[in-house]
Amino acid sequence: MTDFLWAAFELFITFFENLTVCHFICRFLKLDLKNRKGIILYLTGCVSFSVIVTVINNFTLYEGVYGLIYTVMFFAYSLFLPGSVIKKAFAAILANIVIVCTNALVTSTISAASGNAVAEILGTHTLERVIAVLSVQILLIYIFGIILKITADKDVALRSSEWLLILSVFVVSFVSITFIHMSQLYSDYNENQTRILLIAELGLVIINLICFYMTVAMSKSNRQATLLKLEKQQQEYRIKYAETIKNQYEETARLRHDMKQNFEVLTMLSDEKKYDEIGVFLKQCKNEISNIDVCIDVGNVFINAILNTKISIARNHDINFVFTGSKQLDGVADTDMCNLLGNILDNAIENCSASPDAHKSIICNFFGDEYKIMIYVSNTIEKSVLSENHSLKTSKSRLQGHGYGIKTIKQIAEKYNGSADFYEKDNMFVCCVMLYRDF
């Protein structure tokens, strides 16, 4: 009966620990646990982890370096979750290092306090074993909770070299703590040695705490640097389109002056009954008016400026530009709308310009209701963009000052509780942005 209860207790602890670990990985990678798909992925992970750990525990008391298999297991599971590959690797390694450090510290501390060897605590049905197991579970919940709280509502934003540095420290720490713990398991109990090894484990844990703090600090610094670059780009857009509005105003004023002069010429030709000359002159006036770029009016001078400017640029690149939309664009700040449209249309023009296709086109549609605004911009593509560049990173040779267009689009969409989606359909690359009006 006693053996059955211990077996049930061990199974329960295994399932509970994997429940905690799976919850951490899902939350860290921003899996939505409120919908059906999220719940199924979460429970599948819990059950799968529990079965694998139970099988391994039947063959060995302590996995040692082979405990890296759990990192592989966590990473394989994370492939079904949101996030970048390197962030998934970070979550998998971090989860395993937390488990290893917590188990090592708790068992070493109880060993030093009770005078029992670590192997005895782990391999026998004693009160120390119960205390150790329960303490580990409580600490795991607490530690994972702190990590999630620190990283809540924020993505860990690190450069590739920073990711590799942090992950290498975690891996080295894992191996070091594992060997320290193995030396405690497979050697006779010595009180002084146990205390020394406990101090060594504490030192490695402190190193990992510092490493995690550095991760958060560097992430914050990188995020602030990105925001500054985005703000700089937005400021450049404000200046650029203020100048565009000024130029269009001056062009309109010139046109009014020219029309006044033209009417005087027409009046003079009419008085002299030179009707053939009137026909020629009217044709010249028509051609001149057709060359003026101001052709779209959505009821907002700022948006008019950016749309007409982009149409002019598209025409210079032999790109057919088609626009349809309503004039109900209130509820979004003019600067945000200009930045959003500027980046979307710049990307569309750049993609079209690079295509050798003679029939290049950009289609821009605005529509919405009293709550939201929908923006669709599609452009022709020679070949799939997403298949070769799924993350839509900049393809420019000079990265300085580039690569923030997509980030700006997503940032503005998030600001208005909306979304920005990118997909391909019928040889067209489509950017779909939804914005909720802010009244």
Structure confidence by residue, pLDDT tens digits, 199-229: 877 787 788 778 777 777 777 777 777 777 7
Q: How high is the mean pLDDT of the chain?
A: 78
Between these two residues, 84 and 130, which has the higher pLDDT value? 130
Q: For the ranges 164-178, 246-260, 404-418, which has the lowest average pLDDT?
A: 246-260
Q: For the ranges 119-128, 240-249, 281-290, 389-398, which has the lowest average pLDDT?
A: 389-398
Q: For the ranges 20-24, 395-399, 415-419, which has the lowest average pLDDT?
A: 395-399
For residue 190, give the H/E element and its range.
none
Report if residue 423 sits inside a domain: yes
Report if residue 162 sits inside a domain: yes
Mean pLDDT is highest, among 163-177, 265-279, 307-321, for: 307-321
CATH for 439: 3.30.565.10
Res 335 pLDDT > 70: yes
Same domain, 326 and 218: no
For residue 367, give the H/E element and its range.
strand 360-368
Mean pLDDT is highest, among 72-86, 170-184, 230-244, 274-288, for: 72-86
Q: For the ranges 24-28, 315-319, 345-349, 430-434, which has the lowest average pLDDT?
A: 315-319
Same domain, 313 and 224: no
Domain end call among 206, 230, 254: 230
The stretch 33-54 carries a mean pLDDT of 87
Q: CA dist 58 to 46, 61, 63, 100, Å?
A: 19, 8, 11, 19
Same domain, 113 and 205: yes
Same domain, 9 and 96: yes
Domain end call among 230, 249, 281: 230
pLDDT at 394: 44
Res 159 pLDDT > 70: no
The stretch 171-194 carries a mean pLDDT of 73
Torsion of CA 379, 384, 390, 393, to 10 degrees: -60
Same domain, 193 and 335: no
Same domain, 117 and 7: yes
- Residue located via tokens 């780009």: 233
Res 401 pLDDT > 60: no
Between these two residues, 58 and 40, which has the higher pLDDT value? 40
Under the banding of pLDDT at 50, 70 and 90, the label for residue 156 is low
The stretch 232-245 carries a mean pLDDT of 67
Helix, strand, coil distribution of the chain in percent, nearest 5: 65, 10, 25
Helix (H, G, I), strand (E, B), or coil: what is residue 390? coil
The stretch 225-247 carries a mean pLDDT of 68
Same domain, 15 and 153: yes
pLDDT at 288: 65
Q: What percent of the chain shows pLDDT beyond 90?
A: 6
Q: Which two tokens stand for residue 283?
A: 């044709």
Q: What is the pLDDT of residues 25-39, one digit of tens each?
A: 998 888 888 888 888
Structural domain total, the chain: 2
Q: For the ranges 107-116, 121-130, 232-241, 353-362, which has the lowest average pLDDT?
A: 232-241
Residues in the chain: 439
Q: For the ranges 19-23, 141-145, 397-401, which has the lowest average pLDDT?
A: 397-401
Under the banding of pLDDT at 50, 70 and 90, the label for residue 155 is low
Segment 75-83 long-range contacts (CB within 8 Å, at least 24 positions apart)? 77/22, 77/25, 77/45, 77/48, 77/49, 78/25, 78/29, 80/41, 81/25, 81/26, 81/29, 81/31, 81/41, 82/29, 82/30, 82/31, 83/29, 83/30
For residue 329, which of 221, 215, 239, 437 has the smallest C-alpha distance? 437
pLDDT at 400: 35
Is the pTM value of this prediction over 0.95? no
Report if residue 262 sits inside a domain: no
Res 191 pLDDT > 80: no
Report if residue 242 sits inside a domain: no
Structural domain that includes position 135:
2-230
Q: How many helices (H) and strands (E) does the chain have?
A: 12, 5
pLDDT at 397: 39
Q: Where are the alpha helices (DSSP H) in 186-322?
A: 191-271, 275-290, 301-316
Same domain, 326 and 412: yes
Domain end call among 191, 214, 230: 230
Res 433 pLDDT > 90: yes
Report if residue 319 sits inside a domain: yes
The stretch 165-191 carries a mean pLDDT of 74
Same domain, 299 and 225: no
Res 129 pLDDT > 60: yes
Angle between helices 405-415 and 191-271 (to 10 degrees): 90
Q: For the ranges 104-118, 161-175, 396-410, which has the lowest average pLDDT?
A: 396-410
CA distance 386 to 374: 22
Report if residue 437 sits inside a domain: yes
For residue 35, give the H/E element and its range.
none
CA distance 9 to 141: 18
Report if residue 251 sits inside a domain: no
For residue 106, how many other CB atoms are within 10 A of its CB? 20
Same domain, 185 and 312: no
Report if residue 330 sits inside a domain: yes
Res 344 pLDDT > 80: yes
The stretch 297-308 carries a mean pLDDT of 78
